[in-house]
Amino acid sequence: MTDLSQPVAAKAWSLAEVEALYALPFNDLLFQAQNIHRQTFDPNAVQLSTLLSIKTGGCSEDCGYCSQSARHDTGLEREKLLDVPAVVEAAKAAKEAGATRFCMGAAWRGPKDKDLGAVAEMVREVKALGMETCVTLGMLKPGQAEQLKEAGLDYYNHNLDTAAEFYGQVITTHTHNDRLNTLTQVREAGIHVCCGGIIGMGESRRIRAGLVMELANLNPQPESVPINMLVKVPGTPMAQGADLDPFEFVRTVAVARITMPASHVRLSAGRQELGEAVQALCFLAGANSIFCGDRLLTTGNPEADADNALFSKLGLHGEPVQGRRCAS
């Protein structure tokens, strides 16, 4: 396997090249993705993360998929920022269940300085448990990434969501470049990047290829790449669209693996709707990370018993971190 402690040289991908991968016969695409996956990773190891909403609802942004936008009537109750002890207890439970990374998400356009101090304390306390830490807080202002780095943050999640040319059909209250600006601040602060997107929002395959191309051409490439399938939340503008073909989801995972060989590719939102067979194809296509736990911010996720049963059927195990192997 490739030594991940050394920088991995990434090629520059063109849209035509990524589209050509999508167009391969399904078996050929998965064969290529699995071969590349085995060059870098244990093919039967899956990194386990848990995601906790530390501040729910009331976001000022108009993201068309999001249940937490104040502009959409989804019936979601707003909740204030959790206190630090509650977050630490949740992290302890996640670690006990086998998670090696604890992700904390807040429904903000971006964190206010008065709130960032509390989040930094959460990061310090979770880090002290021996877990990797990740937060998703929206767009950052100058100096905020450095404050999170000082607290010990390992990863910052900020998804591109979709390709630049489709972005305005999903979100209008901030731009694609705003997202890239936050990612630049995160990199400059020395924090690992967790960045992916959402498919099934009515975009074409060309748009999906454009998203993967943009992710793969980030320099350096994201260490974690969450691939989300749209969860249709009643009350959001995208709740009524057509369902995505599950094989197209698998293709997206495979293309992400081929173009980003050293990244963890995570099955994120929508995994509950995929079922066991499609998830198995995703692991064959190179997915090697999942969110475990029964909630993803505000939407459902397979319960631990279901994941344990699936791992047992497929012979998968949790990926070790810092010499420690997590439960399977």
Mean residue pLDDT across the chain: 87
Cα–Cα separations (whole angstroms), residue 32 to 21, 35, 39, 197: 10, 5, 11, 22
Using 50, 70 and 90 to split pLDDT, how confident is the model at 76? low
> For a pLDDT cut of 90, what percent of the chain falls above it?
64
Give me the pLDDT at residue 235, please. 77
Give me the pLDDT at residue 294, please. 56
Q: Whole-angstrom Cα distance, residue 212 to residue 216? A: 6
Q: Which of 90-99, 207-216, 244-253, 288-297 has the lowest mean pLDDT?
A: 288-297
pLDDT, one tens digit per residue, over 243-282 is: 899 999 999 999 999 999 999 999 988 888 898 999 999 9
Query: DSSP E strands: which ranges in the chain?
Result: 45-55, 101-106, 132-136, 155-157, 192-194, 197-199, 224-229, 264-267, 289-291, 295-296, 299-300, 317-318
Question: Catalytic: which of 101, 179, 257, 266?
Answer: 266
pLDDT, one tens digit per residue, over 184-208 is: 999 999 999 999 999 999 999 999 9
> For a pLDDT cut of 70, what percent of the chain falls above it?
88
b/e map 262-278, b = 16+ CB within 10 Å: bbbbbbbbbbbbbeeeb
- Of 276, 277, 279, 246, nearest to 265 (Cα)? 279
103 is an active site residue: yes
Question: Catalytic: which of 63, 195, 282, 326?
Answer: 63
Who's near 239: CB < 8 A, 6+ residues apart? 232, 233
- Of 206, 222, 226, nearest to 166 (Cα)? 206
Q: Is the dihedral of CA 193, 194, 196, 197 positive or negative?
A: negative
3-state secondary structure at position 326: coil
134 is an active site residue: yes
Q: Which of 4-8, 132-136, 175-179 has the lowest mean pLDDT?
A: 4-8
Q: Whole-angstrom Cα distance, residue 211 to residue 162? A: 5
Whether the Cβ atoms of residue 291 and residue 47 lie closer than 8 Å to each other: no
324 is an active site residue: no
Question: Does residue 136 carry a pLDDT above 80?
Answer: yes
Whether the Cβ atoms of residue 282 and residue 253 lie closer than 8 Å to each other: yes
- Of 116, 139, 115, 122, nearest to 60 (Cα)? 139
Give me the pLDDT at residue 326, please. 34
Predicted TM-score of the model (pTM): 0.88
266 is an active site residue: yes
Q: How many degrees, rounded to 5, is the angle at CA 197 between CA 290 and CA 73?
A: 95
Question: Catalytic: which of 59, 195, 282, 326?
Answer: 59
pLDDT, one tens digit per residue, over 212-231 is: 999 999 999 999 999 999 98
Question: Catalytic: which of 101, 103, 208, 271?
Answer: 103
Question: Does residue 151 carry a pLDDT above 80?
Answer: yes
* Residue 327, beta-bridge partner list: none
Question: Catalytic: which of 71, 179, 187, 194?
Answer: 194
Give me the pLDDT at residue 11, please. 82
Using 50, 70 and 90 to split pLDDT, how confident is the model at 306? confident
Give me the pLDDT at residue 40, please. 93
Question: Catalytic: which of 101, 134, 179, 257?
Answer: 134
Give me the pLDDT at residue 322, please. 42
Question: Catalytic: which of 66, 195, 282, 326?
Answer: 66
59 is an active site residue: yes
